[in-house]
Chains A and B, each alone.
Chain A
Amino acid sequence: MSEIIRIENMSFEYERDEDREPVKAIRDLSLCVEKGSFTAIIGKNGSGKSTLAKNLNGLLLPTGGKVFVKGWDTADDEHIWDVRQTAGMVFQNPDNQLVSSIVEDDVAFGPENLGVDPVEIRQRVDKALSSVNMGEYKNKSPHLLSGGQKQRIAIAGVVAMKPECIIFDEPTAMLDPRGRQEIMDIIEELHDEGIMVILITHFMDEAVRADRIVIVNEGRIFLDGTPGEVFREYDLIKSISLDVPMAVELAQRLRKRGIKIPEDVITSEGLVEYVCQYR
């Protein structure tokens, strides 16, 4: 498999007023993400996740090192629009990322910017809206929709640009449980259709649905591996005061009581299944 995103020794500093030191948000981070994969990035507040995300499509440019998207350097002005078309982005706040007062016009915004032919835009918009189950809302105004519905419109707006990769920056943080579930289902569907997904989240039960988990701490990669590999490091994760999924926590406590639960049991379903067969 080929890689879409390649980060080489990247660092990022936010400039502040004259006499205060810049904030080092990312420190010497290297990472490759493969086509079609599903990666979750977790980390505490302020660990640099959003900064990392914004560096992946040239919204911010690294102050050290390089970021490549499909081989294009994000700092290269000539290909910045190719980079942003390839790597779409969905933000946390569903209210602050919709542009138009009509749902279908909002979904059309991206393709319009790319200069796509009007007839094709119409097809893409209808397809994208039905892929997030919002077809019947196309003439509505976003401010009449729920948070989850708005977030689905934001996803449709990115899907209509035909990206190879979508970066979700805590897309469910401001939603109710039902909205969260809907968004997670859509993310998994998009991944099944072959879109590479990077999901930044602080919900561990969302992270275990990925193929790979990267834990970021203080601007560096702290752990990187499959969910099984990462959550095996129970003590390490706890040492940076991060949570683990409920099932991992429970399994760990059961182990302390002498019940030998294999380490690849990390989901609630897996744990239920194991415990039911335990004798």
Chain B
Amino acid sequence: MIRDITLGQYYAADSPVHRLDSRVKIAGVLLYIADLFIVDDFIGFGLCAAALCLYVVLSQVPVKFIMRGLKPILLILIMTFCLNIFMVDGRILWQWGFLKVTDEGIYTAVFMAVRLILLIIASSLLTLTTKPIELTDGIEKLMSPLAKIGVPAHDIAMTMSIALRFIPMLLEETDKIMKAQQARGADFESGNILRRAKSLIPILVPLFVSSFRIAQDLAMAMEARCYRGGKGRTRMKEMRLKGVDFLAFFLMLAFLAVVISERVVF
């Protein structure tokens, strides 16, 4: 089970969204976040939600998978909702002791919740439809202009792609160490938080030791294969923008214009 974790987010399919260049998809998410912060009423959110629905349909990712992405932030969602509903001043609708619910509070709470949900869905769609390795390649390409002002674009992307390679391995390693400790009577499940945290130390120490070993071995193997940073390096899979990519990007920009004019008009 633990072996599949890197693939966890990615939903394999051959949809137009999957085929889109990862750079366009990253730009798309950034633009969409901008859209969500420009919008200031529910008409705007309606437009954003409609656009997102269209994107979901095109991506062929089942709604079930998208909802799964919302689960981890459910708690945050509920907390911000409660904070907003009780903290915002306005016309009081209901009061109990120091707790009061105002019309403004309800409005803000719903408003923020919708914004957050749309934002999470849009960004999880990026990882659902793009392989991690394409994502790091896209980030490298997008950041490459910044290399001129000293941002180590290649190194950042290389670090991320190596992390992708080794995270499953380290998880397996953790699994192995835990089982070995359990076989010798270690107990990770009972006791209070402090005790449980303490019982993790014998796992973390060997894990650190082995990750340093891996790092050393890997650095040597990379050098042996003539790795010398991004300079002079070519890529087997060159990223080329196709017609659809330009079209998609144009539509995203057009939608930004729609959102801006909606805000100005209403």
Contacts and interface: CB of A to CB of B under 8 A. Distances in A.
A171 interface: no
B165 A109 contact: no
Contact of A95 (B214, B226, B227, B237): B214
Contact of A84 (B162, B214, B225): B225
A193 interface: no
A161 B227 CA distance: 12
B225 A109 contact: yes
Contacts of B224: 57, 59, 84, 88-89, 91
B33 interface: no
B222 A99 contact: yes
A142 B222 CA distance: 16
B213 interface: yes
Interface stretch (B107-115, B179-187, B228-236): B228-236
Interface in A94-110: 95-102, 104-105, 108-110
Interface string B167-190: 011001000000000000000000
Contact-residue bracket for chain B: 20 to 34
B230 to A, nearest CB: 10
B14 interface: no
Given A84-B226, A91-B220, A110-B226, A115 B233 contact: yes
A87 to B, nearest CB: 9
B176 to A, nearest CB: 12
B7 interface: yes
Contacts of B236: 104-105, 108, 111-112, 118, 121-122, 125
Contact of B133 (A59, A100, A111, A121): A100
Contact of A101 (B6, B227, B235, B237): B6
A99 B233 contact: no
Indicate the member of A96, A98, A109, A121 with the most B CB atoms within 10 Å: A96
B165 A99 contact: yes
A99 B218 contact: yes
Interface string A208-224: 00000000000000000
Contacts of A141: 6-7, 168
Contacts of B214: 95-96
A142 B165 contact: yes
A265 B237 CA distance: 52
A54 B133 CA distance: 31
B172 A143 contact: yes
A122 B236 CA distance: 6
A116 interface: yes
A96 B133 CA distance: 19
B161 interface: yes
Contacts of B7: 141
Contacts of A104: 236
Nearest to A83: B226
A113 B235 CA distance: 9
Contact of B169 (A113, A122, A143): A143
Contacts of A85: 226
16 contacts: A57-B224, A81-B228, A84-B223, A89-B224, A98-B165, A100-B161, A105-B237, A108-B235, A108-B236, A110-B225, A112-B235, A113-B227, A118-B237, A143-B3, A154-B221, A158-B225
Given A99-B222, A121-B234, 9 more contacts: A84-B225, A96-B217, A99-B218, A101-B133, A112-B235, A113-B226, A117-B234, A141-B7, A157-B225
Interface of A: 54, 57, 59, 81, 84-85, 88-89, 91, 93, 95-102, 104-105, 108-118, 121-122, 125, 141-144, 154, 157-158, 161
Q: Which 3 A-B pairs have the closest CB atoms?
A: A96-B217, A97-B221, A108-B236
